[in-house]
């Protein structure tokens, strides 16, 4: 059986696809990580707001306000980071889809090659069987026919 002439290229395409898949996975992991950090920051802000702490002086009030503002700022930064990660994930998805499409095209060519080779092998086998059958039942001597 003749080997697929583009097998090396197909291996390269599969490697590219695996790399793109790994990058997509990392991008999605970063999105989940930022979402978890944002959720923790929101819980911290809600927990601080939910406490019924009695504020007795201006310094404490200023400190609480600064802490809340800082947490809100951190949430805004996390939102910006999440947006950047979503863009990166979308780009990684596009790259993965392109790599997959390139692999699929070569996989289809390989499948057609394998089918053609299988058909050729079956045809050769059938020819050999036909030859054997023809020679087996042919009389060795023309006088044996009478």
8-61 confidence digits (pLDDT tens): 999 999 999 999 999 999 999 999 999 999 999 888 888 776 666 677 888 878
For residue 71, being part of any structural domain is answered with: yes
Query: Does residue 96 contact residue 20 with C-beta atoms inside 8 Å?
Result: yes
d(CA 125, CA 116): 14
Tell me: pLDDT of 77 over 90: yes
pLDDT of the residue at 96: 96
In a domain, 24, yes or no: yes
Does residue 84 contact residue 30 with C-beta atoms inside 8 Å? no
Residues in the chain: 146
Answer yes or no: is 94 within a domain.
yes
Q: Is residue 144 part of a domain?
A: no
In this prediction, residue 145 carries a pLDDT of 54
The model's pTM is 0.67
Cα distance between residue 82 and residue 88, in whole Å: 10
How many domains are contained in the chain?
A: 1
User: What is the domain extent for residue 21?
Assistant: 9-110
125 located within any domain = no
Structural domain includes residue 99: yes
- Tell me how far apart the alpha carbons of residues 12 and 34 are, in angstroms, rounded to a whole number: 33
Q: What is the mean pLDDT of residues 86-103?
A: 96
CB distance 81 to 36 below 8 Å = no
- The owner of tokens 């790259």 is 95
28 within a domain of the structure (yes/no): yes
Determine, yes or no, domain membership for 59: yes
Say what the pLDDT of residue 124 is.
93
Nearest-angstrom CA–CA distance, 46 and 108: 55
């Amino acid at each position: 059986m003749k080997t697929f002439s583009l097998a090396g290229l197909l291996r390269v395409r599969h490697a590219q696809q695996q790399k793109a898949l790994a990058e997509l996975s990392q991008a999605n992991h970063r999105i989940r990580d930022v979402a978890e950090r944002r959720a923790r920051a929101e819980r911290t802000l809600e927990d601080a707001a939910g406490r019924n702490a009695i504020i007795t002086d201006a310094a404490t009030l200023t400190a609480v306000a600064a802490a809340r503002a800082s947490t809100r700022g951190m949430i805004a930064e996390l939102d910006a980071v999440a947006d950047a990660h979503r863009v990166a994930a979308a780009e990684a998805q596009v790259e993965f889809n392109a790599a997959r499409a390139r692999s699929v095209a070569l996989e289809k060519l390989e499948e057609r090659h394998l089918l053609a080779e299988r058909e050729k092998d079956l045809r050769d086998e059938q020819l050999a069987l036909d030859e054997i059958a023809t020679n087996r039942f042919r009389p060795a001597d023309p006088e044996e026919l009478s």
